Structure 1
């Protein structure tokens, strides 16, 4: 009977260890995402401000349209690249958060 209690206690400790490792991975991944989004937001703001300055200095409508077109194109390309990068970060986050539980699943399936 005592052996059964020890097994339950060890299982509870193992599960807590898995959960803490998973939480650590999740926390680290969320920090990476937050840093990435903050960097993207800062760059986006700086690009917008630089474009606005260029537009204010434009001497003709044609030049203003060219500046605006270049801005829209670069912004779209930057957004697509950022979305891809964030998608990869989320996928990595999910994989890293699940890793600690792989051992538990392997034990349970035996």
Structure 2
């Protein structure tokens, strides 16, 4: 009976350690994502403001259309790059969150 109790305690302790490790990983990952979103938002706002200033200073309609087209092209490319980067950050977060559980799942698979 005592050995079963010790086994239960060990499993509980191991699970708690895994949960704490996983929480730490998630916390770091979410923080990285938040920083990346804030940086992108700031950069995007600055670029939009600069484009608006150029647009208001345009002397001809052709120049205004050129400024607007350049801005839209740049904004689209920046968005696609950022979306790719965010996808990678989320994928890395999922992988890192899963890592602590790999050994436990491997043990479960072996015992079955």
Name the TM tier (shorter chain): over 0.9
Residue 107 of structure 1 and its aligned partner are, at CA, apart by 1.5
Q: Which runs of 4+ in 1 moved over 2 A?
A: none
* Alignment gaps of 5+ in structure 2: none
TM-score, length basis structure 2 = 0.97
* Counterpart Cα distance in 1 of 2:102 and 2:17: 13
Residue 39 of structure 1 and its aligned partner are, at CA, apart by 0.2
Query: How far does the alpha carbon of each residue in 1:34-87 deviate from its partner, in whole angstroms, 9 at most, with x for none?
Result: 000000000000000000100011010000000000000000000000000000
Pairwise CA RMSD: 0.5
Partner of 1:50: 50
Partner of 1:31: 31
Partner of 1:106: 106
Partner of 1:90: 90
Higher relative contact order (CA 8 A, sep 6+): 1
Query: How far does the alpha carbon of each residue in 1:9-37 deviate from its partner, in whole angstroms, 9 at most, with x for none?
Result: 00000001001101110110000000000
Residue 106 of structure 1 and its aligned partner are, at CA, apart by 1.2
* Alignment gaps of 5+ in structure 1: none
